[in-house]
Amino acid sequence: MTLTMRDLTVSYGARPAVDRVDLDVAEGEIVALVGESGCGKTSLARALLGLLPRNAVVTGSALLAGEELAGRRDWAGVRGKRIAIVPQGAMTGLSPVHRVGRQLTEMLTLHKGTATPADLLDRVGLPASMLKCYPHELSGGQRQRVAIALSLAGEPRLLVADEPTTGLDAISQRHVLSLLASLNISLLIVSHDLTGLLPHAHRIAVMYAGRLAEVTPSARLLHRQDKTHPYTNGLLTATPAPDRDVPWGSIPGQAPALDHTLTGCRFAPRCPLTTSRCVDEEPGLMPYGESHVACHRHDEDALPTYPTVPRADCAPQNIAVRATGLRHTFRSRARTTTALADVDLTIGAGEIHGLVGESGSGKSTLARVLLGLIRPAAGRVEIAGQELTAQRGKALRLLQQKIGFIHQDPYDSLHPGMRVGDLVAEPLAVSKTPAAERGDRVHRALRSAGLPDTPDFLRRHPGQLSGGQRQRVSIARALTGDPVLLIADEATSMLDVSTRAGIATTLRTLAAERGLAVLFVTHDLGEAIQSCDRITVLRHGTVVEHGTCADVAGSATDPYTRQLLQAAKG
């Protein structure tokens, strides 16, 4: 056995973030540790590498080939050599000022590796010519491969990959996971993406509120064999499939805070199958076939049901947004890049229109053109019958007030020192809305975004909110100006799968009730098929596919779109 964890506990202060975990990783085995943000999976992974903050206390045992890792103080010759990590966010894990070759050479020297930099790149499927590249010259998928190559420099027995596919498009995600699976070493992959890991992992360990809810062979989940823990079932339901016949669900509520004593099953407040026993008595991991499940009702026939995203299949009548012949290029000393090439787009009132493509496809450039932040080299944009591209100065600013924008990252887009009420009211102050009107519009926006408008909630800071609540605050901010167009820029990509469907449901309700035109920008074709009415697929600034969700899912004509569909299916 490569790694053996017994009663592994990580505490910050009085309460454990990781609570008495037992888990093994065999020689050459791939184990995926999945769960929502805050469940403890990253704390567990970092405990194995001695990368926890000083206030963390580690107890229990974690043996790596018989050598104790838990609470270890001397990591020389262990971290990087016997156990290594692929950090989350390849761009932050690489030095932006050094070439790839230099970074690989430094890592090989540090860990006395026997390979050459070219050997490491070859192992991750990259050409030796990339040794001369800087990280910013590589795609997201290529940067992640370089990060994996760095982690292999010391020839470790165990590799811990922390969210290795976050921020990558579906095709790059699939390639990175396939690469990890081909390395033939023991792997612990930490991720919130359950379904994406099923074809690549041998076993799945599902974590909830610091405890393991289930440990099971991945094939059992992949083929939906037998019953699973209600939480595992919820995660599977909450992952959008590129098929309109498969419902997309969400898990209501949120995981409990770990700063107070928990009794009973930790998932009970959110579980559709909860009984009085679940509330009073905490279940332990019990054998169930080839699996271990922590559920009092694991041997019953009852199946949990979760709320699903409503479908509208809107056929746009009144066109709210029309873009025709958009062209734009970016020039540098070295080259000229075509960001948009004769792009046409229409969005009807009440329609959710998906804009899908990989990084660098032109999605963000098109969104910025529609926001009036970039003036295109050619073409025109009309918002509610007014030509945006012809406006200047005050006239442009007035028209921009009819456009709402939801940022990708709810953790960075909200000022941490401001309260919810002030954050939502800020656009009204900028537009000089009379003070007497602001309070009512803030309350209406919060209710429309699915949030309470109580005095207590208005006084909260972003740090007191979950990721889903923060994104709903961003939605409320975007609604205060009564927009005609709402642009959601990767608005769910930073959220847990259990939260995404709830945000999509809110956008669907807003489109229907307010007649909003919504542009849903995403790299996830499965999510677009589930939540939108029509889809436009961009590649290298060109529209390669356009149609209803049903048409794109069932009869896509472009090879790239078919690639995205295949990647979304896993």
What is the reported pLDDT for 556? 93
**Virtual torsion, Cα 177, 183, 189, 192, nearest 10 deg:** 0
Two domains, one topology: 3-82+156-293 and 310-402+489-543? yes
Residue recorded with tokens 């950090």: 87
Question: Residue 467: pLDDT above 90?
Answer: no
Percent of the chain with pLDDT over 90: 62
Question: Residue 214's beta-bridge partner residues?
Answer: 206, 293
Residue-wise over 303-323: b if at least 16 C-beta within 10 A, else e? ebebebbeeeebebeeebbbb
What is the reported pLDDT for 161? 94
pLDDT band at 172 (very low <50, low <70, confident <90, very high): confident
Residue 109: phi, psi to the nearest 5? -65, -45
- Residue 19 C-beta-side C-alpha neighbours within 13 Å: 21
What is the reported pLDDT for 262? 81
If you classify domain 310-402+489-543 with CATH, what class do you get?
A: alpha beta
What is the reported pLDDT for 433? 86
CA distance linking residue 512 with residue 515, whole number of Å: 5
CA distance linking residue 221 with residue 218, whole number of Å: 5
Instruction: Spell out the residues 6+ positions from residue 85 whose beta carbon is closer than 8 angstroms to its own.
Output: 45, 49, 51, 151, 159, 160, 161, 162
What is the reported pLDDT for 422? 95
Question: Residue 315: pLDDT above 80?
Answer: no
pLDDT for 119-131, tens place per residue? 999 999 999 999 9
The answer to whether residues 288 and 230 touch, using CB atoms and an 8 Å cutoff, is no
What is the reported pLDDT for 225? 62
| Best-predicted range by mean pLDDT (77-81, 343-347, 405-409) | 343-347
Strand residue runs (E) in 65-170: 67-68, 83-86, 158-162
Residue-wise over 509-534: b if at least 16 C-beta within 10 A, else e? ebbeebebbbbbbbbbbbbbbbbbbb
What is the reported pLDDT for 76? 86
Question: Residue 460: pLDDT above 70?
Answer: yes
pLDDT for 421-434, tens place per residue? 999 999 998 888 89
Region of 508 (left: φ > 0; alpha: ψ -120 to 50; beta: rest) is alpha
Question: Residue 25: pLDDT above 90?
Answer: yes
pLDDT for 471-524, tens place per residue? 999 999 999 988 999 999 988 887 888 888 888 989 999 998 899 999 999 988
3-state SS track over 2-44: CEEEEEEEEEECCEEEEEEEEEEECCCCEEEEECCCCCCHHHH
Domains of the chain, by residue range, sit at 3-82+156-293, 95-153, 310-402+489-543, 408-482
Residue recorded with tokens 């020689």: 27
What is the reported pLDDT for 223? 78
Structure-model confidence comparison of residues 304 and 100, the more confident one = 100
Average pLDDT on 161-167 reads: 86
Q: How many CB atoms lie within 10 A of CB 536?
A: 25
Question: Residue 42: pLDDT above 80?
Answer: yes
Q: How far does the chain reach from its first CA to its final CA, in angstroms?
A: 29
CA distance linking residue 490 with residue 521, whole number of Å: 5
Structure-model confidence comparison of residues 310 and 319, the more confident one = 319
SS3 478: helix
Average pLDDT on 295-305 reads: 86
CA distance linking residue 103 with residue 197, whole number of Å: 29
Structure-model confidence comparison of residues 253 and 334, the more confident one = 253
Q: Which of 124-133, 293-302, 549-558 has the lowest mean pLDDT?
A: 293-302
What is the reported pLDDT for 51? 93
What is the reported pLDDT for 293? 95
Percent of the chain with pLDDT over 70: 98
CA distance linking residue 271 with residue 232, whole number of Å: 11
Strands 211-217, 291-293: pairing is: antiparallel
Average pLDDT on 342-359 reads: 94
Average pLDDT on 155-162 reads: 94
The second-level CATH assignment, the architecture, of 3-82+156-293 is 3-Layer(aba) Sandwich (3.40)
What is the reported pLDDT for 314? 60
